[in-house]
Amino acid sequence: MNNNMKLAMVLLVAASIVLSGCTKESSVISTPSSSQQNSSVKGDISQIDVKNIHSLKIKSDVATVTVIGDKQINQAEWELSKDNSKDTDVTTSIQDGALLIMLKQKQKISINMGPLPSLTIRLPYKDFNSLEIDNGLGNVFVESELSVQHLNVNTSTSGDITVKDVIGKKSSNISTNLGKVEFDLPNQLAPLNVSLSAKLGNIDNQVSLEKATNTKTVVSNEVHGYVGEGQSESATLNISTETGEILFKK
């Protein structure tokens, strides 16, 4: 993609955020007390007991979000970087076995806002039903030793997404409006139905696909096929970007 075109689109997107702000009200329930959340603070790291949690949702207006699976811990841990985070709030709530971690900006952002706040979340190894990450502006990283049935990652305005060695056992949906998606498949993998789509950008597919189809136009690109022997009950992986590139590898 032409670099000048991408820069212009980034500036346009950022300018629109300045006008509209990034602090729209959410319909999510109010944050319960710390005793209801079974949470604690260890230094600069906050901990949450997820023994009875089956689903997680991470929602952010503007941030770099990193989610890491860690077999060495027993509770979920989250940490907000001190740099450029003074105007950022993190709240947590639990409802019906679902944990919500929400990061919100107290003030409107500007184009020259400097480094984005950085939220790092470590999760203990257990089988989660779903992991959903919804980020407005900023890069998202998901990696290492996570067990999840349904994985959904989205950057609604702009941001790159990197997923490494993690996949939903039943479904994965990865999408960004403006940015690059890099997806690195884990080694031991069940049959997988793959769909890659870049409306304005390129697809670099480095994975051998059965029954593969590749549809190209002047600006768009789509790739479909199966990893392993295709079956109707195979898990699904959908990766899309409105404007950007896709790197699919193993």
129-182: per-residue pLDDT in tens?
Answer: 999 999 999 999 999 889 999 999 999 999 999 999 999 999 999 999 999 999
CA distance 166 to 148: 8
Positive or negative torsion for Cα 47, 52, 56, 58: negative
Would you call 10 helix, strand, or coil by DSSP?
helix
* Alpha-carbon distances, residue 171 vs 132, 148, 175, 182, 250 (angstroms): 12, 9, 13, 17, 18
H or E stretch at 186:
none
Indicate yes or no: pTM above 0.75: yes
**Distance from chain centroid for Cα 227:** 22
With a cut of 90, say whether residue 218 has pLDDT above it.
no
Tokens of residue 11, six digits: 């500036």
Specify the pLDDT at position 43. 47
Pairing, β 171-178 against β 64-70? unpaired
Q: What is the mean pLDDT of the chain?
A: 83
With a cut of 50, say whether residue 31 has pLDDT above it.
no
- The larger pLDDT score, comparing residue 117 to residue 30, is at 117
Specify the pLDDT at position 107. 66
Report residue 45's pLDDT band, with 50, 70 and 90 as the boundaries. confident
With a cut of 50, say whether residue 183 has pLDDT above it.
yes
CA distance 101 to 172: 20
**Mean local confidence (pLDDT), 185-205:** 92
With a cut of 90, say whether residue 67 has pLDDT above it.
yes
Specify the pLDDT at position 38. 53
With a cut of 70, say whether residue 106 has pLDDT above it.
yes
Specify the pLDDT at position 1. 53
Specify the pLDDT at position 115. 83
